[in-house]
Structure 1
Amino acid sequence: MLIRPFESTDIPAAADVLRRAAETFILHESTPEHAANFLAEHDAAALRRNVDADFLYHAAVVDGVLAGFIGVRGGTHLFHLFVDAAYQRRGIARALWEVARAAALRPGHPGVFTVNASNVAVPFYASLGFERTAPMQEASVRYNPMRLVVAGSVPLVGAA
């Protein structure tokens, strides 16, 4: 497995991984209208906008295939973390997180990360040290606000 910075050529494959994972693990809890909205808000064009807006993305490549990817907004919010079902349970999501976390933790970082975890992903994020900060919410999808304070850091007052 190779984890490397995202390349623009990764966007179509990443959008496919995201769509398949969302359809399998997330969107079954949403109305058809909300599911369609979610997919439209997270398609290849949206990924391109995120990359152009300086979200920090990394790709996990296995045997030349994009197996998963991670995107962090503003250095503190884990915005995307998806691994194709064919590559799950191999440590890819954890490895992506470790690389993205290390890349984000630069001088001046508040030492706090947030994520809006799907119901199925809550145990995984808890295994990384994230804790729920509020009950499950619902917008176009159901999600659980979670937060991780990096060991040894002192979160800024009001850091979410």
Structure 2
Amino acid sequence: MFREFEGFEIRPAEADDAAAISALILSLQPYLTIEPDGSGAEEFLVSLSPDIIRRNLQDEAYRYQLAFDGDVLAGVVAVRDNAHLFSLYVGSPWHGQGVGKRLWESARAGALARGNAGNFTVNSSTFAEGMYRHLGFTATGPVAEMHGIRFIPMRLEL
């Protein structure tokens, strides 16, 4: 299933996409980790390796979708257990262009079609908090720090 919007195409991810997904997310590392160089976040950064992402792509608990600008990967979204927004990353050149919103809308629609009653959670980076609030998520706790990252637990109830 391919869907297009404003020059972008969204499609389900495949195991062969793991390296590109990893590269895109790791390019955003300074937005994600407490220390700009990633120190202290080694465990988190390992979880973004192509091997781990490939394993997730082959696990039925995860649903990944990708947004492409032509042949270039612009963003990725993943929902785990049909309820937790596990990943939503958009490459820096596409920030502010609606790619994250479209990816979320596609992932949300898929989760609802598979039986989600309208309840979602996410651990937002402090950088992305504004986007998640714009999408309707609200904080469920204070800013937390773990494994070299800072995040805000959030929930959306439709």
Gaps of 5+ in 1: 151-160
Equivalent residue for 1:62? 69
What RMSD over aligned residues (CA atoms) do the two structures have, in Å?
1.6
| 1:112 partner letter | N
| Alignment of structure 1 residues 76-95 onto 2, 5 Å | 76-95=83-102
Equivalent residue for 1:48? 54
**Residue in structure 2 matching 1:118, options 105, 114, 125:** 125
1:129 is paired with a residue whose SS is: coil
| 2:10 partner letter | I
Shift of 1:110: 2.9
Q: Distance in 2 between matches of 1:30 and 1:63?
A: 30
Task: Give the paired residue count.
Answer: 149
- Against the structure 1 CA distance between its residues 107 and 86, is the aligned structure 2 distance closer, same or farther, given a 3 Å change threshold? closer
Q: Distance in 1 between matches of 2:66 and 2:102?
A: 10
In the TM superposition, structure 1's runs of 4+ consecutive aligned residues that sit over 3 Å from their partners are 28-33
**Residue in structure 1 matching 2:144, options 137, 143, 147:** 137
Q: Distance in 2 between matches of 1:139 and 1:30?
A: 15
| 1:130 partner letter | F
- Against the structure 1 CA distance between its residues 139 and 107, is the aligned structure 2 distance closer, same or farther, given a 3 Å change threshold? same
Shift of 1:9: 2.0
2:122 is paired with a residue whose SS is: strand
Shift of 1:38: 1.2
Equivalent residue for 1:146? 154
Shift of 1:29: 3.9
Structure richer in helix, relative to its length: 1
Q: Distance in 2 between matches of 1:126 and 1:43?
A: 28
Q: Distance in 2 between matches of 1:31 and 1:89?
A: 24
Q: Distance in 1 between matches of 2:114 and 2:33?
A: 38
- 1:10, 1:66 within 8 Å by CA — same for their partners in 2? no
Q: Distance in 2 between matches of 1:76 and 1:83?
A: 20
Shift of 1:87: 1.7
- Against the structure 1 CA distance between its residues 107 and 39, is the aligned structure 2 distance closer, same or farther, given a 3 Å change threshold? closer
| 1:125 partner letter | Y
Equivalent residue for 2:41? 35
Equivalent residue for 1:154? none
- 2:78, 2:85 within 8 Å by CA — same for their partners in 1? yes
Shift of 1:89: 1.5
| 1:91 partner letter | G
> Could you tell me the TM-score, scaled by structure 2's length?
0.88
Equivalent residue for 2:5? none
Task: Report sequence identity in percent.
Answer: 37
